[in-house]
Amino acid sequence: MSKTYRVAILGATGAVGTELLELLESRNFPVAELKLLASERSVGRSLPFKGENIIVEAVSDRALENVDIVLASAGGSTSKAWASVAVEKGAVVIDNSSAFRMNPDVPLIVPEVNPQAAADHKGIIANPNCTTILMTLAVWPLHQVRPVQRIVAATYQSASGAGAKAMAEVKTQSSAILKGEEPVAEVLPYPLAFNLFPHNSPLTDSGYCEEELKMVNETRKIFGTQEIRITATCVRVPVLRAHSEAINLEFAEPFSPDEAREILSHAPGVKLLEDWGKNYFPMPIEASGRDEVLVGRIRQDISHPCGLELWLCGDQIRKGAALNAVQIAELLVEKNLLQPTKAYVAR
């Protein structure tokens, strides 16, 4: 990376935005100029980057001028409002919201899984949902050896998935409960401390919530096939940071746990973590702050001869969001893919 690039972080003061800032510095991304953009209420704040304090600006047409890469993590409505503006001004937008994920003109990228799809971008690249990223990282290496036919996923999603305010709310609720007081829920619909509930995203007519359908539709798009049968149950749990997932895989023929372990022990972005003698497997407290997705408890499904079970934990803010976005930017720079193949046209 001999060249340097003008980078903007849209949503710079949020949980993912501040993680993006830290990753750009720690991974030594070749930043020539950095702009921190956010809503009016965050304007004037300063955030540190490489020994300097950078002042947060309001997102505007002018602020998006002379930018090569926009890392957006400010919500779907903000991305829909500003992504096409940034593209028109010559930037590539790597968007962390759900705004463009299922748009057929927008690649949905996990660099360890489908980096080749990035070459077809038209100025916008979508970052998948956090649960999808973590799951595909563990399933894709196995799918390459024997195509998976069916995935049954159950997720245990931390407060970090709802942002920094949700994490703070869980702490406040925990303190209140321990004092014998009634916990107050404002960010999430119900108290999460010492509690859990099905994911709070809107329910659809199918009976699935939007979060569950994201795992279905996004995984199929990333894998490049509509043939995989996928179902998911997503749950909010009282964990501050890092999601966990129980994954059941069905293949056309048996897939031995030992072979799966051997494959996953060499898979990029994955760390195999198992100690059967101590009943020790991945935990969110150990996945927090780590780049790798921790995978373990790989075992034969006793209900199906061609079934395989695994358990994983991954940091929702890092690999589930910010790290994946920075890795996409690194991929674009390394492969010289910043120029879009065609102009993006908003639908």
Is 101 known to sit in a ligand binding site?
yes
Q: Which of 72, 87, 81, 8 is nearest to 343 (CA)?
A: 87
Is 157 known to sit in a ligand binding site?
yes
Told to judge if 313 belongs to the known catalytic residues of this protein, a careful annotator would answer no
Q: Which of 250, 237, 295 is nearest to 270 (CA)?
A: 295
Cα separation, 119 vs 142, in Å, equals 25
Six-digit token string for 257 = 């746990």
Is 41 known to sit in a ligand binding site?
yes
Helix ranges (H only) for 115-252 are 130-145, 164-178, 210-223
Look at residue 276 and give its three-state secondary structure: helix
Cα separation, 139 vs 260, in Å, equals 10
Is 224 known to sit in a ligand binding site?
no
Is 318 known to sit in a ligand binding site?
no
* Integer-rounded Cα radius of gyration of the chain: 20
The residue type at 335: K
Is 14 known to sit in a ligand binding site?
yes
Is 119 known to sit in a ligand binding site?
no
* Catalytic residue (one of 130, 209, 234, 313): 130
* Catalytic residue (one of 121, 143, 199, 243): 243
Is 13 known to sit in a ligand binding site?
yes
Cα separation, 54 vs 12, in Å, equals 11
Query: How many residues does this entry show for the chain?
Result: 347
Cα separation, 5 vs 324, in Å, equals 18
Is 44 known to sit in a ligand binding site?
no
Six-digit token string for 281 = 């497997």
Is 173 known to sit in a ligand binding site?
no
Is 160 known to sit in a ligand binding site?
yes
Pairing of strands 293-300, 270-272: parallel
The residue type at 238: P
Told to judge if 130 belongs to the known catalytic residues of this protein, a careful annotator would answer yes
What stretch of H or E contains 332? helix 323-334
Contact between residue 186 and residue 172 where contact means Cβ atoms under 8 Å apart: no
Binding residues: 13-16, 41-42, 101, 157, 160-161, 210, 236, 316
Query: Known catalytic residues?
Result: 130, 243
Binding residues for substrate: 157, 210, 236
Binding residues for phosphate: 101
Binding residues for NADP(+): 13-16, 41-42, 160-161, 316
